[in-house]
Each structure stands twice: as C-alpha cells, then as structure tokens.
Structure 1
Amino acid sequence: MRRFLIASGALILAACGSDAPAAAPQAGQRATAVFAGGCFWCTESDFDHMPGVLDTVSGYTGGTLRNPTYKQVSAGGTGHLEAVRVTYDPTRISYAELARRFLRTVDAVDGGGQFCDRSDQYRSAIFVATPAERAAATAAIRQASAQLKQKVATEILPARTFTAAEGYHQDYYRKNAVRYKFYRWNCGRDQRLKALWQR
C-alpha cells in the first residue's frame, strides 16, 4: 500500500483509564478505542459499518517517534502501526463487542502484517487503556483462537499517543471509492477473511 505524503497529522493523546470500576453507560455517552488492522483505510471502513460506531480517525500509534508521518511509518523502524481511533456509543456497542468484531476483520493468525501489506507497521493489535479493556481483549482473542483452532497473532498492547494521519488518508474509502475498492480486492483482504472465518 504505497501512498504519498501530503500533510502533517494532528497529535491526539490516547486516554488513560483508571482502575476504578466503570459506571454503567449513559445515553449520549462517548468512548474511544484504538485498533490496528493493517491498512488503516480498510480498518476505518470496517469500523464505520459497525452499529454504534460514531467516528473513526486513521493514524499511527505504538512507537515512540513524536508526530510521525506516513512516509516515516511506511518506511518502517518507527515502532508505530497504522491504526484507527474509534469513537463509539457504549450504550449501543460494548468495548468487548468491538474487539470481537475487529478480530473478524483481520487475518488474526498472521503476525507478519496483514494481507498484501507486510512488515511490522501493518500487523494487527488491540490497544488497551484499562484493565477492563485488557480483560475484554483477552477474552475476544481466546474466543477467536478457539473458533479458528489456531493461535491468534493479534497483539494486545498498552495504549500510547495516537497521531492522526494526514488529511488525505481520512475517509479514503469514501473519497476515493474506485481506487479503494480496487486496492482492497487486489490485496485479497475479503477473500482471505472469507476463507479464514468461513463466512
């Protein structure tokens, strides 16, 4: 997935949670979660089609380089992954359900990248900010592993600073639908998911 750098992204800090028990979700409440599923164009599209998801932002997280750019991340060596920050309504979809559904949008047994995008920056991961999120992510991975009868390679990583990707990456699948659909098909994403999850 080769794309060209146009603009710098904005810095967004991932929220850190506490160990206190979470209150029951209230109507109108919003929560955020961060997932890496290979190409963030595809991950963004997949989450946007889930009920209860209010907003998605493509970006970079997991590394220590401040204000990373697409050019830097795609070259490798930054420690960052292409990722998506998901804003959702917890009264309509739980974090646990987001994690469960996310795993069905990735090749969960591939630790070397995703589909045609190879290397560390394209591997899949669930970024957790609280013990409750870690427990939910662990349960989702355990369930996926049992269903697939294979070890799941998707990682659970601590939430770190999230940097929004350049503007031309946001909503790419909508703004460049023909190119996006060709890329997704040519990459074999949906074909592999159908074979892996038998759907």
Structure 2
Amino acid sequence: MTQLKPFSALVTLSLLALAGCGTQSPAQADVVAPKVSATAAPVPSNLATAIFAGGCFWCMEKPFDEIPGVVATTSGYTGGTLANPTYEQVGRGGTGHFEAVKVTYDATKVSYQKLIDTYWLQVDPFDAFGQFCDKGETYLPAIFYGNDAEKKAAEAAREVLYTRFKKPIVVQILPTKAFYDAEGYHQDYYQKNPLRYAYYRNGCGRDARLRAVWGQ
C-alpha cells in the first residue's frame, strides 16, 4: 500500500504548484551556475538543435524527450540581452529572456517539422500574457529559428492554426540568440522531482487548458 504523505507535506506541495515554475528553493537541490550552452561548438553533422519557449521549461522537456531521435533536452534562458543570467534575474523581469528548452536531435531520425508539430500541442497559442498560471515576459511562447527553412516552417504552421481557429496566434517566431543553460536543479526536473512536478503541473491547470484547446 502506498504510504500517505503527511498533511503538512501536501500543503507545501500544493503551495509550490500554485506559486509558479521554478519556485523550489536552491537549498533543496544541487545548484549549478548557468553556463552558455555550447550551441556554437562543432557537433556531429547528423545532430541539430531547436529552441522553443512554452511557459515553464520544466514542462517542455518531457514531450520532446519522448520523441525517437531526440538526443537531449536542456532547460535554459534565451532571447534577452543579459549574459549568463540566473533564474532569479530572469524571474524579476527586465532581461528580455524567455524560459525555453533546447532540443538536440538526430536529423536523420526525426524532422524539424515533427518538433514543430509537437511544440504546438504543448502551448496555449492564444495567451499573449504568458502560459497557463505563469504570466509575464519570461513565460511568453515563442519559436526560435536558426535558418530560413526553420522560419518558413514555423510561419507556415502558425498560418495553418490561424486558418483552423480563426483567432490570432500569438506565438512569436524569433531568430535564435545565445542560449544559457539553466541551473542544474532545473534540468530534468520532471524526472528528479516527479511528485513536485505533478503537483505544479496540475495546480497550474496546464493539461486542462491543453485539452480545452487541442482536445484529447
């Protein structure tokens, strides 16, 4: 039989879920200073990267990790002007950075189009103020393109959605900028802290809203 959690622990987890993404105290985890991601370093010719912002970066890793051909996902910050930002700096606003996920994938096994298709199903494309319970510039949805082909693919997909829903699609399509890895305790959060992750995701209403937009 599963042991029940003490009531005080459940209250703590519920507050965490409602407080927003990334509210775990650094004292509770192994904090690693953020570093600039080595996106510019030489990589095998079959590997490519794609960067997406869809609200809390904790929730953006798992859907891409589950795609055959995806090698790794990394939570981080991008789109802003401050070099090597911390979570606290980004959260306070004013840096221009988004919480984002960098997807490293084998282009011989999975297409960029597949990643784009997966991305849309993780976001509310109509929310111009953030995503789900997280609001503010940090949580705005965006697709960051690295070349003209990616830009065209993202724009074409956005146009298809506009035609389908007949409503403005507010997801931004922006050129790739420097990507900074988030602190270590943010990486693979859904795997390291499954209970806290589940409480946050449920408390934020993410899945309920995704079902309302996209269906089952």
Superposition TM-score, scaled by structure 2 size: 0.83
Q: State the alpha-carbon separation in 1 of the partners of residues 162 and 107 from structure 2.
A: 25
Q: State the alpha-carbon separation in 1 of the partners of residues 83 and 47 from structure 2.
A: 27
The amino acid of 1:183's aligned partner reads: Y
Is the aligned partner of 1:179 residue 2:204? no
Residue equivalent to 1:32: 49
Q: Find the partner of 1:117 among 115, 134, 142.
A: 134
| Alpha-carbon displacement from aligned partner over 1:94-146 (angstroms, at most 9, x marks no partner) | 11221122011100111110000000110100001101110011111112222
The amino acid of 2:206's aligned partner reads: R
Residue equivalent to 1:72: 89
Residue equivalent to 1:9: 34
Relative distance call for 1:160 and 1:185 in structure 2 (3 A) is same
- The 8 Å contact of residues 4 and 71 in structure 1, kept in 2 or not, is answered as no
Query: Which of the pair has more CA radius of gyration?
Result: 2
For structure 1, the residue ranges without an aligned partner over 5 or more in a row are 16-25
Q: State the alpha-carbon separation in 2 of the partners of residues 78 and 3 from structure 1.
A: 21
Q: State the alpha-carbon separation in 1 of the partners of residues 162 and 146 from structure 2.
A: 23
Superposition TM-score, scaled by structure 1 size: 0.89
1:13 deviation in Å? 5.0
Residue equivalent to 1:195: 212
Q: State the alpha-carbon separation in 2 of the partners of residues 118 and 109 from structure 1.
A: 13
- Number of aligned residue pairs: give it: 189
Relative distance call for 1:178 and 1:127 in structure 2 (3 A) is same
Q: State the alpha-carbon separation in 1 of the partners of residues 141 and 202 from structure 2.
A: 19
The two structures, once aligned, show a CA RMSD in angstroms of 1.8
- The 8 Å contact of residues 103 and 144 in structure 1, kept in 2 or not, is answered as no
For structure 2, the residue ranges without an aligned partner over 5 or more in a row are 1-19
